[in-house]
Amino acid sequence: MSTFLNRTAVAAVALSVLALAGCETPAGKVNVLQSSTTAVVPGSTYAWAPVTSATQRSADPRVANDIINQRIQTAVDGALAAKGYRRVSSPSQATLLVSYYVGLAARSEIQSNSMGAAPMGACGFRGCVGGWGFYGAPMLDVQTINYTQGTMIVDLVDRASGQLAWRATSDRRVDSSDGDQAALNAVAVDMLKTLPGGVQ
């Protein structure tokens, strides 16, 4: 009976971990910085900031290309439009200048799982027969998990003063599927959800 309860408890914990993993937002962990002196006025016009050495979008060739750049710009444009911001073609006509940066870093972590050994018994061509309640020593399963950590930053700069007005930073594990348009659209919406919206 106690073995059944232990297995049930382990299963419940495993399901709760899976549920938490499934609830992660598209942008992962998002941090927002907002200037206390430079306000973002809802409904403002914006343009993409010219790319310079100081505002390069990425140093990683996996994302520093025209395809990913266009997808990210499309995603951010859509999220800003949904908030009521209006894109203009010339930076000189915009209230806000928008830029982004994407960084990818290789990471690894060690995971260890302790598993109780199966009951000792005898096995033959008809299968295995359990012993009389004798258990082997617990086994420890240790694995190294390699993954890619992605960081994306979206900046809104007040063009007139040149001051950073608002910044959102997304930090999460990524894989190749995160570069498609639908995934990037969801990330952009999640990152910009706290940006002041509506038209004044």
The answer to whether residue 7 is domain-embedded is no
The answer to whether residue 2 is domain-embedded is no
Q: What is the CATH number of the domain that holds 153?
A: 3.30.160
pLDDT by residue for the chain (200 residues), tens only, comes to 444 444 433 333 333 333 333 457 898 999 999 999 999 999 999 999 998 766 678 878 888 899 999 999 999 999 999 999 999 999 999 999 999 999 888 878 887 777 655 555 555 555 555 554 545 566 777 788 887 888 999 999 999 999 999 999 999 888 888 889 999 999 999 999 999 987 54
How far is residue 78's CA from residue 185's CA, in Å, rounded to a whole number? 7
The answer to whether residue 4 is domain-embedded is no
| Both tokens assigned to 66 | 């025209």
The answer to whether residue 36 is domain-embedded is yes
The answer to whether residue 187 is domain-embedded is yes
The domain of 141 spans 27-117+137-191
β-strand 45-48 against 96-115: which pairing, if any? parallel
The answer to whether residue 15 is domain-embedded is no
> Tokens 């960084």 label which residue?
103
Q: In what order do the strands lie in the sheet with 139-158?
A: 29-34, 164-174, 139-158, 96-115, 45-48, 86-87
Total structural domains within the chain? 1
Quote the radius of gyration of the chain (alpha carbons, Å): 25
